[in-house]
Structure 1
Amino acid sequence: MKQTGDGPVKPAQKSDEVRHDQQEDDDVELDPRVWVRRFKAWREALRQRPSTNRLYRLVVGLVGGGIVVGGLALVPLPGPGWLIVFLGLAVLATEFTWADRLEKFARKQVGAWTKWLMAQPIYVRALVGLATAALVVAIFWVLFRVTGVPGWIPDNWIPAWSGLG
């Protein structure tokens, strides 16, 4: 350090190094692997106590199972049904080995189905699409026969031949 009449002067380089080190520390805090390590340490601490471990597994099972059931209900409907099922299985797989195996098996089967379907001629893909649409219509028809047509659907949208009016 240089000496002046006012006392020691810190070089500018030192200040820049401190800012750079602080920035690296901030980057480490934002690094997702740090959070993963922290979660794993927290989870391991829960595993050490049997009562909290059982409670944690019960909560994960209920949440994951609820997501899977909700996703399965949405599978025949337009929307992200399978995505929600896989999300639920991923939640369950964090605690249950059987769910991890089931998720991997299901992903493999859906991938094989998609690969097979994409290799088919366009008319086969169109028939599969029409069959899916017919299944969705049939599910809604049965649902509306059992529960009644919701009031928010205008009466003029329901044809007389459908048996729902």
Structure 2
Amino acid sequence: MLANTHTARIYRSIVGGLGTLIVLIGLVLVPLPGPGWLIVIIGLFIISSEFRWAQRLLHFVRVNVERWTHWIMAKPLWVRWTIGAATAAFVGVIVWFALRLTGLPDWVPDLRVLDLLGLH
């Protein structure tokens, strides 16, 4: 199927466009709780099936995630807990900010804690 250069070019364009769309969706989701970075990496996997630069970028990501994992696991437990708590606090602030901008969905019950957080 891809022996034809025109077909190969169209195929590469589709793969590149789809992968780029998935990467962009993932980047939009990164500050929100959820799998933003995972979606970005999935998009890079798709792009890397046809583009060498994406393969190099994916390798760079893989190497640095492994370095980070080894570095953090070598730290004492209190350091890991502190980094985890800071990450959770950051995500909490992002969620609070997003809810302040968009408002609470209708299905959320009327709780006093939401008044204390300024979300009503």
Measured against the shorter chain, the TM-score band is 0.7 to 0.9
SS state of the match for residue 111, structure 2?
A: helix
1:68 pairs with 2:23: yes
When the two structures are superposed, what TM-score results if normalisation uses the length of structure 2?
Answer: 0.85
Unaligned runs of 5+ in 2: none
Pick one of 103, 106, 110 that aligns with 1:151. 106
Larger Rg over CA atoms: 1
Q: How many residues align?
A: 120
1:57 pairs with 2:8: no
Pairwise CA distance, 1:70: 2.8
Pick one of 87, 91, 94 that aligns with 1:139. 94
When the two structures are superposed, what TM-score results if normalisation uses the length of structure 1?
Answer: 0.64
1:124 aligned residue: 79
SS state of the match for residue 159, structure 1?
A: helix
What CA RMSD, in Å, does the superposition of the two structures yield over aligned residues?
1.9
Instruction: Please identify runs of 4+ aligned residues in structure 1 that moved more than 6 A.
Output: none
1:88 aligned residue: 43
Unaligned runs of 5+ in 1: 1-41
The sequence identity of aligned pairs, in percent, is 50
Pairwise CA distance, 1:61: 1.5
Listed as ranges, the matches of 1:104-123 within 5 Å are 104-123=59-78
Pairwise CA distance, 1:78: 4.5
Relative contact order, higher structure (CA 8 A, sep 6+): 2
SS state of the match for residue 13, structure 2?
A: helix
Pairwise CA distance, 1:135: 1.2
